[in-house]
Structure 1
Amino acid sequence: MKQCTWLEANGVGQAIFGTNSEANSISAPQKMSALTALIEGRLNPEHMMPGTGATSIDAAVTITRHAVNHKCAGVLMLQPFFYKEVSDDGLFAYFSEVIQKMGSTALQIYIYNILPVTKLNLSLSLLAHLAKEYPNTVVGMKDSSGDWAYTESVIQLLAPSGFRVYAGVMKYF
């Protein structure tokens, strides 16, 4: 809580339950409890983008609904990455199912692209399809691919329509 409070006081938004916080080792109820505790600890949910992606659609929906109900600025959604070589159609179906089950106009999804960890490529055509089909819901991405050419391609293709791209760096030693 102390670190989050310091970040909040210094104008830094928080993407809790991302890869640096071992999110995939935490259950949905634990994530929801932690998010609630942070908000009850006076952190502004409008400055938070919790990671809500999960390999289970129902788990992703449950965590996402909790974040939306707490009025978080958006959610950072990792694709289901356990199975490799998932097609664009399969990935689109996953995100679409989560969005449909949510049924919320308040939902703001930032796709989390972290190829070094997931080993799943998020193609430009997939991102464009999601942004076109759900323009008020799929509003951006956090790209931690470490591939600037890819990041730049996403920016050139989607940023003109308002799609936001946050670039992160992944280094493996």
Structure 2
Amino acid sequence: GYRAYNAVFAKTMPVLSPGFEIETELSIHAVDKRWRIAEVPIDYRDRPEGSESKLDTFSDGCKVLLMILSLFKDYRPLALFSWVALLFCVLGLVAGVPVVWEFAATGLVPKLPSALLAVALVFIGILSFTCGLILDTVVKGTRKQYELQVTEAYREHGRR
């Protein structure tokens, strides 16, 4: 679809996408930064006969889904890494509970590889959560800088 933005949005929007995914990036950026979005109805006409669409449904859909995942990491790292951490911790518990039961019953740990796997998976889960916390702090700092950048852009735009 067609999109129009004010000068300040255009000046402060970091375009990182190489192609079709830019629509997703622009929309998510506008929503995340609380820009006002308006839908303007237009007349829609069918494609002229004999012309071909350049879109590839499957390929472009995959690109958009990968872009959404990437932007989720960029905009909400704590949420993403918390889910990853939960997954690894649950897998660690699944691998570790039988080892703990057997140790409680016999006093032995005959499944040493399972015990090591459980510890490694839980450790990866904790590490993922820690990465999420660190990245969330970085994102909050970046948001503050962006707000200052927008304020400065409005100040400059007002001088013209």
| TM category, shorter | under 0.3
Instruction: Name whichever structure is richer in strand by fraction.
Output: 1
Return the index of the structure with the highest Cα Rg. 2
The higher relative CO (CA closer than 8 Å, separation ≥ 6) is in 2
Normalised TM-score (structure 2): 0.22
